[in-house]
Structure 1
């Protein structure tokens, strides 16, 4: 890994040649700030650091305590992606490809993922479309054997360490794979029936459905729950839907994205007139023990003789995906960014991704004790970061050639993304650019805002340990509005 990172460190020597300035004593928080934070539920632990253009501390509350950052973790992952992939041109990942491998009298179809997050099987797809690869196979042959999903570009590490198992069934906790299609989600639609009867549930057939939802009279309550055991294809739906309700969409996570992609590819091949005589299969790269002296960085397992790709997709520019990732806080896309960073000079493992991120954060002047990450997206409860580390990252990032582009990926208060409905009607509407974060008993917000006098402040605000998982976002937002008003 160092063969690639050492030149980057050398090029950035100016960033770390001088020690980080000792912060000036913090100015006491104005009464409105203190009053705003006091509205958080009793027992809530809050960290808040706000600095001005020169790095002087305006408000500092527990700036060196470690907090669960939730999706604020994406700030660190996307900064590493900008530094190593988007700007410095180290990203060599291409889109998915397809090849035909001989096996007896037939040829197997192998769909190969390269870590791109945007492969789509949607009917209205215009770029990075699975249908393009289907057409390539259909032009070549009308009979194939097996259809195989190959995600060996990265080790088979589908869920980040420290993620709650109950998130796995939903779209926010779907498995991570180098072969990713439709965000690794399966959509079902629930349409109400007659009162007292079962609604209609439609999908593409990937999951078996145990429908226990009941249609209730018009005007009733819609409350639909779903459960699927990890590794099972049986989905149980429960709850109620009013007879006059609009169709309700349920989006579910996938346990084995490579299998799902191959299954969908086989369906599309049949629709294109190609006879599939074999089964749907997968190729995964097993994760090797980190202390195995014979294995360096989970090197790829042995493969059959390479067969040239029949067709390969070209994804849209990575910067477009970075905007989408931070604006809507897309977990899967961030996890793939972490693995792509780890594949620059390593294996694409989570450990290699974090090692590469460590090198970037060292360049930023962030001390190793100020953070720990179990994943790249913020779904892990193992993640910890100090407000000072986040502010340091934001200030360093702003000075980089990619700093303006990185800031453009942040949600804008009251305007878009995960901040579209926050700060409405306040002085910070349209004047705060920040990454949000929400996890069990954790709220986070970090970025930049413009004060009442037109100054630009950098901040990181965290709330942890809220009893009963009561949100503290209103308290954090009000505190930031008060800081902006006082300056």
Structure 2
């Protein structure tokens, strides 16, 4: 697809000087016919100059003011240009830094591909810590977590099965989980408490299971006012408090978590007979949660952790000090980073984006430095190299309220990514409008294929990406609208789509 695609970012300047007059007759006088041709040539050149001057005064062909009638009352930054020629198609406040919201995930993806490569894979390794007493008994079992953001309960079950297949039946001391890949941060700078109690704000951690969410299902059996509940995956750490009213009609159920520091889910509302409700909540202690899910998977495989003769719960140690495995037993390898990033940019998984950012930091700096401060410094360098001039990005997801970038910054980073060796993989992570991801219900009636990334915060609506022409990236664009209130906030997405449609029509 990219075989004939290059990004030279050339800027063409048309000549405005008068054409050279030819056909002069030797001697001091020219014929009347020659004089007439010269006058016509001068008039033609003057008309051409006038047209060029008029076009320059008119500005780019797409005017954001035609859609956003309140440019002076909001923070709106719009930029679009032809990738090959550099011709500007739209430019309104293009150098104004505003909140980019989740369009920042495109920056994260490009920077991570540049540092790690699209084929990078996470590894989660299980092995023996200390002595192996005999074929069946080991002193301790260790897990070296790497921040794999896509690790699932099924993956942990497969690791547990591999431990059992290795002949291990008993652990006499403890399960030790090495989470030293990341520092002890859980949230990037300037996330809010409102984010923390929602699944879109799940904590970042080195040991992950199911995006650090727990799915709660509550059911009412028949006409009785009795309720049952399940937690998946079940670590034994998540408590469910049910405060439901039994009714015959007017059903309403909420499943929420009241705070981000305890593993408690609250179920409130009204349930009718034979009713069921399901929702996911963020886990407050993700490393511990994942460790206990793994311990239960080991028990299901017949591997017992029985320190001091046994007890009701296995002893688990979470450590930020690297552990030494005396014997590696099994390793789970993730999908390539390109696949993980596709999920990020299609469905806007914030925790996954944060783990990718921290992985870049860890791989650059080593153990214990998988931090947002290291990531921020690296991203600053990468953005500058890409030609972005005004950004301040503090996290990997764009959820930080401290993030700022202009439309030109975002477009520069997109073009830089497309022009890289991994440009095709980067391009493939973007959702297709009208087909998939968060763009599946948007811009489907536009003739051109549009790939991009949405972004949304309170008062912020953004869209950035690429418009195709004959299967090739032809136009890069970013529409970042912030400080929106009232009806202008509620109707922002259709306005953004209208502007992107105009850009697509002009670029075609």
TM range (shorter): 0.7 to 0.9
Q: Which of 333, 336, 339 is the aligned partner of 1:320?
A: 339
Q: Which of 281, 298, 302 is the aligned partner of 2:316?
A: 281
Q: Which of 291, 311, 331 is the aligned partner of 1:262?
A: 291
Q: Which of 329, 345, 368 is the aligned partner of 1:310?
A: 329
Partner of 1:239: 269
Q: For structure 1, list consecutive stretches of 5 or more residues without a partner in the other structure.
A: 1-14, 123-128, 286-300
Q: How does 1:110-121 map to 2 (within 5 A)?
A: 110-121=142-153
Q: How does 1:202-213 map to 2 (within 5 A)?
A: 202-203=230-231, 204=234, 205-213=236-244
Distance (whole Å) between structure 1 residues aligned to residue 74 and residue 251 of structure 2: 33
CA offset at residue 32 of structure 1? 8.2
Q: Which of 69, 75, 85 is the aligned partner of 1:45?
A: 75
Distance (whole Å) between structure 1 residues aligned to residue 256 and residue 271 of structure 2: 13
CA offset at residue 282 of structure 1? 3.8
CA offset at residue 409 of structure 1? 0.6
Q: How does 1:9-158 map to 2 (within 5 A)?
A: 27-28=58-59, 34-38=65-69, 43-53=73-83, 54-86=85-117, 91=120, 94-102=122-130, 107-122=139-154, 129-138=155-164, 139-144=166-171, 145-158=173-186
CA RMSD of aligned residues (A): 3.2
Moved more, 50-59 or 68-77: 50-59
TM-score of the aligned structures, taking structure 2 as reference length = 0.78
Deviating beyond 6 angstroms after TM superposition, the runs of 4 or more aligned structure 1 residues are 18-22, 29-32, 103-106
Is 1:130–1:265's contact at 8 Å kept on the other side of the alignment? yes
Per-residue CA deviation, residues 147-199 of structure 1 (Å, 9 max, x unaligned), is: 23321112121111111122223221111112112211111113345579465
Moved more, 382-391 or 27-36: 27-36
Per-residue CA deviation, residues 109-166 of structure 1 (Å, 9 max, x unaligned), is: 22221122222213xxxxxx21232123324332223223321112121111111122
Moved more, 304-313 or 63-72: 304-313
Is 1:227–1:236's contact at 8 Å kept on the other side of the alignment? yes
Q: Relative to 1, partners in 2 of residues 1:36 and 1:19: Cα closer, same or farther, differing over 3 Å?
A: closer
Structure 2 SS opposite 1:158: coil
TM-score of the aligned structures, taking structure 1 as reference length = 0.81
Distance (whole Å) between structure 1 residues aligned to residue 400 and residue 286 of structure 2: 20
CA offset at residue 483 of structure 1? 3.0
Q: Which of 457, 463, 482 is the aligned partner of 2:481?
A: 463
Partner of 2:459: 441
Distance (whole Å) between structure 2 residues aligned to residue 252 and residue 330 of structure 1: 14
Q: Relative to 1, partners in 2 of residues 1:478 and 1:137: Cα closer, same or farther, differing over 3 Å?
A: same
Per-residue CA deviation, residues 212-237 of structure 1 (Å, 9 max, x unaligned), is: 1335434x354414123222122222
Structure 2 SS opposite 1:309: strand
Distance (whole Å) between structure 2 residues aligned to residue 265 and residue 27 of structure 1: 64
Distance (whole Å) between structure 2 residues aligned to residue 227 and residue 115 of structure 1: 24
Structure 2 SS opposite 1:345: helix
Partner of 2:407: 387
Is 2:263–2:283's contact at 8 Å kept on the other side of the alignment? no
Distance (whole Å) between structure 1 residues aligned to residue 87 and residue 452 of structure 2: 20
Is 2:179–2:318's contact at 8 Å kept on the other side of the alignment? yes
Is 1:196–1:214's contact at 8 Å kept on the other side of the alignment? no
CA offset at residue 427 of structure 1? 3.5
Q: Relative to 1, partners in 2 of residues 1:26 and 1:221: Cα closer, same or farther, differing over 3 Å?
A: farther
Count of matched residue pairs = 439
Distance (whole Å) between structure 2 residues aligned to residue 148 and residue 26 of structure 1: 68
Moved more, 413-422 or 454-463: 454-463
Q: For structure 2, list consecutive stretches of 5 or more residues without a partner in the other structure.
A: 1-6, 14-54, 308-313
Is 1:156–1:284's contact at 8 Å kept on the other side of the alignment? no
